[in-house]
Structure 1
């Protein structure tokens, strides 16, 4: 067993353990952290397969953006975990049956790629680079393909994302009567004298002496 095979088995074992803990952890924060570990292990397997672009995309998009946002939402919201797990055992047989069916379908699809009789087919660019002895980069070839044959779909997707960003900002900054808003321009131009106001207060006077309490002897007289 070489180093690459050993790393593959190590990453796979950690990935399966982390994926199992995602669905068995009682705390949603721990489940999200185990999911982050699962994404990192999957990214390592992608790197072993020499697929740098999916590996770095998995880390940047899912770990760096989606999971961080999910952790913030989970930690800020008061989630009643007991209420969510109230009907777990009630729906467990149906969930287990659906999970087993999905596992069988995935096994039927993926087992064809692990047959020893079939040789793996490489991409034309990969095969040509291997025959020529040139170091091949799938990220570079993917960039060439995106900005040559798929340039217009890429530009359309970029415009749609830009419109979505502008719409989200417009919906957030719209004026509502029930929300408190401020003008960012005024906040930038504010001065220290506008924030602090010195008020002259008259000097304090000594407190008046307390009145003498009435004695019981005086009352009897």
Structure 2
């Protein structure tokens, strides 16, 4: 954990196994709040979150890196073996010739705006990559981000992409490894399809 995060007295922990089920309500709340903003624009519901997160919690080897400010969860980051995730994510790697049993998937990272800039991004990646190494047998760590057009009407003028941070962590976009996933945007009447670009590093 970064020194700046320590000064703010944030409690960062790695949660695995049955412990994940206990934090699902807090995680669902955070996902709905954070993913509503750019670039995901996700118009989420607790019903969907409950179904999605229970499936994640049952994944073998799953981990959630949590950040609490007192009793409030202010950030969280998930990860699990790629083979345990939805086919939408694993299929592009299979088609490209990868053995997905050797890929650890870093899922979403959600952090309240009030607690950004305190080193939690590094803590989230450190924790998930440590879980991959602890489990053993993984060659790669990967995550994906939504692809949005630069001229999207809801893109904030001051938006700064996280590409430099991800590259500093050793991740790079992988040409041709793109998944598609459906969800409802805040400005749309129903679900639409979204392209998700994968970034990857060697562990």
Query: What TM-score range do you get, normalising by the shorter chain?
Result: under 0.3
Q: TM-score, normalised by structure 2?
A: 0.26
- Report 1 or 2 for greater relative contact order, CA contacts < 8 Å, sequence distance ≥ 6: 2
More helix by share: 1
Between structure 1 and structure 2, the one with the greater Rg is 1
For normalisation by structure 1, the TM-score amounts to: 0.24
In terms of fraction of residues, the more strand-rich structure is 2
